Structure 1
Amino acid sequence: MDVETRTRNQLNKQVENFLANSNLRLSYSRGFIGGTLVVFALLKRAFAAAPEESWLGLYLAIGYFAYVLAGFVIARTIARKARAYPRISLYLDVLVVTGISWVIGLPVFGIAYLPALLLGVFARLTDSALGVTFVGFVNIIFFYVNPYSVNFSLGSLEGIAMLAVFAGALLFPLTLYFITGSGTALMDIGDKLLARVLDRSDVENITELQSRVQSIYRVSSTLTSSLDYQKVVRDMLTELELVFDISVGVVLLFEGTTDSLKVADSEGLNEVERKRLYSSNQGVVKEALAEAQPFLINDDDTINSWRKLFPSLAKCRAALIMPLRGGYEVYGLLLIASQKVDKYHSSDVQLMVALTSHTIVAMQNATLYKNLLAERNKMLTSEEEVRHTLARNLHDGPAQAVASFSMQIEFIRRLMRSEPERAYNELAILGKQALQTSKEIRTLLYELRPLVLESQGLEAALEQYASRFPTNQNDPAVHFSRLGEEDIRLSPSVENTIFTILQEAVNNARKHAQAKNIWLQLDYKEGYINAVAQDDGKGFDTSAIEQNYDKRGSLGMTNMRERAALVGGKVTIESRVGKGTRVIIRIPLTESNLASDDAIETVS
């Protein structure tokens, strides 16, 4: 229920209450008329010459009184929305009371004028004048036909009394009409009172709506000016306190990667409650986190379950719970509680959703910003590792070889004078070493940027890469094979990912595995590309490595898995001591992972 609907319902309810109160006052007046009729009927029976003939009048008076009591119930239920109820019921009263006055045999129908006069209060003055005229006319007819009034004349005591009562009753609506100049003056006064009540309600509801809009604006302003979601959380709870009646408020957020929740901000909690951690895997907290939508708590039994976690809720009688969820990510929980019964409504839930949505966006932004910084640091770390690796490889290989060349050349220059034949042999050895060093340099350059990967694709790049080994006598032989007959070209990002991971696997095997052979293999199967690097080295215990991996300086395995994950793939490492190692890359052949020429084809 939104604020507009809630306001409309409140106004309708106030109109109903106003009409109901008016109808209740009318019922009290009608009750007086009914009671008076019963009293007159009893007196008439007590002093009548033939008491047995007055039973009908008494029964009718009692029946009318019962009808008035029923009208009291109707005024509180059905007629609370009906503005025409007083007019209709009073017209009936004029007819009924006049008829009962006739049956009782009252010489003057004075009591029958009362509902006619009430028509001037609850309906129109013209209705009142018409009712008075009707009662007076019936009263005159009664005198002419009543056997107990055969000596009737306008000059008699009864006639004068009847005319006086009739004139006095008729004077009431006529006087009010001449004073006010309106036939609905008294009714207009009631309408003005009702309009004043509704105007006051409009102001109150507009003020509430304005306060809520301002709260949403302030929280959104905080969001746009800060990436600190904790500040947004604090501001959110502050704004909730301005809008809602909050005796206790608490924001629970997950503590790091654990399953525990900590109090990020609170109102009304004691020190112990603020400092403790709350499990997300049990009890009402688990149930609340599983809810996709906020929910109200107005029953004491459910609140009791929360009081076990937060004793500060002891006096609270209503609560509103909001899971802080963004997409599939759950960040925590928001709880506000009031000591008043049924204090929160569905419109309050909508406002809470609006306010907490800004907080959730702030949390998502903070998470994205944190991940962005982490990715940037990984990229910087990766670049630093590449530089260190290149520097180490250049130092261990080509740099030392060039330094050795300088020394050997000087040695050969001296041999040329004393032992020319030996000098020629040294020159031949130096030439072989230069060719070997040149090959190592070309391999290093190839690993840094394999141009063939860009021009001819992954298979050609891996085949050429394998042919460069062994580069020295300690290097293993590298063999490449391809399974399947599909001619598929992958997107550059996927080809670079597979080549880089296989290259990392080859380098790890060359350094640590003491392998004699390394096999590289590509296989297109069942909508996936499977790339494998397998060696016949000494292997290792994967479980032991995984357990202590976060304490090691190298991030090779992590880098492999993260690179594969970027293109929707997965890396699996299989190894046993003495049985070699196998690195398996599995990447789906989705449209985005295929080259533009092959993206329209479906791979089965």
Structure 2
Amino acid sequence: MTEKNTPPSRLASLAKNDPNRPLWMIAAVGFGVLLILGSGWAVMVALIGLILSIGGVVWGATRSKLSAQAAQQMEVETQRLRNAQQRAKAIYELSSTLSSTLDYHRVLEASLEIGALGLRELGASETARLISAILLFRKDDNMMHVAAARRLTRVDEKVRLQGRDGILGEALKKAEPVMGKNATQDPELRFFVAFQGTNSVMAVPLRAGFENFGVMVFGSEQANAFSPGSIALLTAIATQATIALQNAVLYQNLLDEKERIVSIEEDARKKLARDLHDGPTQTVAMIATRVDLIQKMLKNKQFPAVFEELQKVGEMATKTTKEIRHMLFTLRPLVLETQGLVAALKELAKKLEDQHPTQFTVEADEQLEVWLETNVQGVLFYVVEEAANNALKHAKARNIWIRLFQQSNDYIIAEIEDDGAGFDVEAVVNANYYQRGSLGMVNMRERAELIDAALHIESTKGKGTKISVLIPVDEETRPMSAQQQDTARATIRRLAPLPSETRFAARLGVQQEEAQQPKKSASTWSDLME
């Protein structure tokens, strides 16, 4: 601590620490004796020597004082560098943890540790008790639970909060750090025993985009413990923690998607095995039995009966061929790849009509295919197929309509409607439906989500069902409007088309003779380019 005025007692204390003090004292005594006993020039010399001796003592004391101040300043600077080093090490460990692990719990624990170190460095009292916690929302109850904490009691770790009131709710709503004073007066923090007696509280939201993961909270017994630097530090730490939470969610979604794909593939294999066992396998076994019977008839020369049995064998073989082709079609409809979605839907309706006493009607505009990307057409085909199979299996429908039409320039709608038994829509969307293991509607909804489409179900018992799929149109695949086409035609008629424009004109339906008008002079094109 710097002193402006040094009292005599302090100066004497500093002078004692001067290593040259005995020499100066001896010189001062000698000059003092000479001053008393001497005369003439000796008095003058003694006086000057005495002054110099006293000056040496004062200079030694001053030097000792400056050395003490420098040592104290060096100690403060060393401590500051040590704290900065610890903070940098902690931040490095947090970054390393973030990049090397998908366990977000480790990142949350490290975030609280770094936050405590940083707050101490930025002025928080070393002796004041510092409490911290990270509260995260859970989807099962939409409440915030303690995910990581420092100095919370066991009772506190079981507290659940809504995150709507107090500084927690304010931080989540504003998406920015919020500070408070007395936690006992906060409508939600007052439920924590550890936060009782805190005089400074800060809540930092863990937010990414429009999604709230939770809140990071720090509390201190020290009043005004959090400075603007503390806000910047905790905000940076919260950002790192949020990234870890995002990575954890994405990784879990990836695992869930992997399990779903494996489950779908397993279900497809089971369905194929079941269909083969119940269909072609049984028919082929019957054909083999009848062939043996025909051989015996030939030995016994029962020719009329042989002819009748051969007809039955031929019918069985034809039926088996259709069943196998239908299975291959459902596994990989080649017509979808070669001729497009509308042709595949018509082929699907024809095959299902051959197997079931149900009338199919397909109402679709082939020109709409250009609006849909190839992967979208594939997903949409499987959604229609699943809906049609559900209508045949569960609804016992006599008529099924498949429609594909345009709604404005932004959406295309696919509809599958039947006149079957219908069902309770609420039973489909609640949890019990998923627990029963019927995955038809679940698969359709998940496939629709893959192409950013919306699935809508309308059904009434005894009055049939209508399933609608609303597909957004990609801007890149969207055809030109009628007004845009008219403008383009007028431009092409006015200007001589280049080779690329000739193709563009053909796409718009312009007559070939109109598209091949005489070219204008080079000066005209130069003027146009200018």
Structure 1 residue runs without a partner (length 5+): 1-13, 27-170
- Deviates further, 204-213 or 508-517: 204-213
d(CA) in 1 for partners of 2:282, 2:60: 114
The yes-or-no answer on 1:451 pairing with 2:334 is yes
Corresponding position of 1:512: 394
Shift of 1:544: 2.4
Shift of 1:343: 1.7
Distance of aligned partners of 1:475 and 1:381 in 2 relative to their CA distance in 1, 3 Å threshold: farther
Maintained 8 Å contact 1:212/1:351: no
Distance of aligned partners of 1:506 and 1:460 in 2 relative to their CA distance in 1, 3 Å threshold: same
d(CA) in 1 for partners of 2:400, 2:195: 67
d(CA) in 2 for partners of 1:423, 1:274: 84
Q: Which residue of 369, 376, 384 corresponds with 1:494?
A: 376
d(CA) in 2 for partners of 1:284, 1:358: 21
Corresponding position of 2:239: 357
Corresponding position of 1:582: 466
Maintained 8 Å contact 1:317/1:338: yes
The yes-or-no answer on 1:440 pairing with 2:315 is no
Corresponding position of 2:442: 558
State the superposition RMSD in angstroms. 3.3
Corresponding position of 1:368: 250
Corresponding position of 2:81: 206
Shift of 1:434: 1.6
Shift of 1:518: 1.5
Maintained 8 Å contact 1:300/1:317: yes
Corresponding position of 1:395: 277
Distance of aligned partners of 1:307 and 1:431 in 2 relative to their CA distance in 1, 3 Å threshold: closer
Q: Deviations over 1:353-395 (max 9, x none)?
A: 2333322222111111111110000000000111111111111
Maintained 8 Å contact 1:457/1:489: no
Corresponding position of 1:45: none
Shift of 1:313: 2.2
Structure 2 counterpart of 1:213, one-letter code: A
Number of corresponding residues: 430
Shift of 1:212: 1.8
d(CA) in 1 for partners of 2:146, 2:352: 59
Shift of 1:305: 4.4
Greater helix fraction, Structure 1 or Structure 2: 1
Structure 2 residue runs without a partner (length 5+): 7-46, 485-530
Equivalences for residues 392-541 of structure 1 within 5 A: 392-416=274-298, 417=300, 419-472=302-355, 474-483=356-365, 486=368, 488-526=370-408, 527-541=410-424
Q: Deviations over 1:258-304 (max 9, x none)?
A: 2212222222322222223222344443223223122333x348865
- With normalisation by structure 2, the TM-score equals 0.73
Maintained 8 Å contact 2:167/2:203: no
Distance of aligned partners of 1:391 and 1:602 in 2 relative to their CA distance in 1, 3 Å threshold: farther
The yes-or-no answer on 1:230 pairing with 2:105 is yes
**1:270 alignment partner, SS class:** coil
Maintained 8 Å contact 1:515/1:537: yes
Corresponding position of 2:92: 217
Q: Deviations over 1:280-333 (max 9, x none)?
A: 344443223223122333x34886545522232222211221112233322221
Aligned-pair identity in percent equals 33
Maintained 8 Å contact 1:320/1:336: yes
Corresponding position of 1:161: none
Equivalences for residues 93-492 of structure 1 within 5 A: 201-243=76-118, 244=120, 245=124, 246-297=129-180, 299-300=181-182, 304-305=186-187, 308-416=190-298, 417=300, 419-472=302-355, 474-483=356-365, 486=368, 488-492=370-374
Q: Which has the larger radius of gyration?
A: 1
Structure 1 counterpart of 2:145, one-letter code: K
Shift of 1:221: 2.0
Distance of aligned partners of 1:300 and 1:544 in 2 relative to their CA distance in 1, 3 Å threshold: closer
Maintained 8 Å contact 1:323/1:333: yes
Structure 1 counterpart of 2:105, one-letter code: Q
Shift of 1:545: 3.1
Distance of aligned partners of 1:487 and 1:559 in 2 relative to their CA distance in 1, 3 Å threshold: closer
Shift of 1:349: 1.9
Structure 2 counterpart of 1:210, one-letter code: Q
Structure 2 counterpart of 1:265, one-letter code: A
Distance of aligned partners of 1:308 and 1:348 in 2 relative to their CA distance in 1, 3 Å threshold: same
Maintained 8 Å contact 2:371/2:473: no
Structure 1 counterpart of 2:132, one-letter code: G
Maintained 8 Å contact 2:280/2:323: yes
The yes-or-no answer on 1:545 pairing with 2:420 is no
d(CA) in 2 for partners of 1:420, 1:313: 99
**2:405 alignment partner, SS class:** strand
Q: Deviations over 1:501-547 (max 9, x none)?
A: 00111111221221122211111221211111111211112112333
Maintained 8 Å contact 1:571/1:583: yes
Equivalences for residues 562-573 of structure 1 within 5 A: 562-573=446-457
d(CA) in 2 for partners of 1:586, 1:537: 23
**2:271 alignment partner, SS class:** helix
d(CA) in 1 for partners of 2:358, 2:346: 15
Structure 1 counterpart of 2:377, one-letter code: E
Maintained 8 Å contact 1:253/1:264: yes
Structure 2 counterpart of 1:231, one-letter code: R
Structure 1 counterpart of 2:91, one-letter code: I
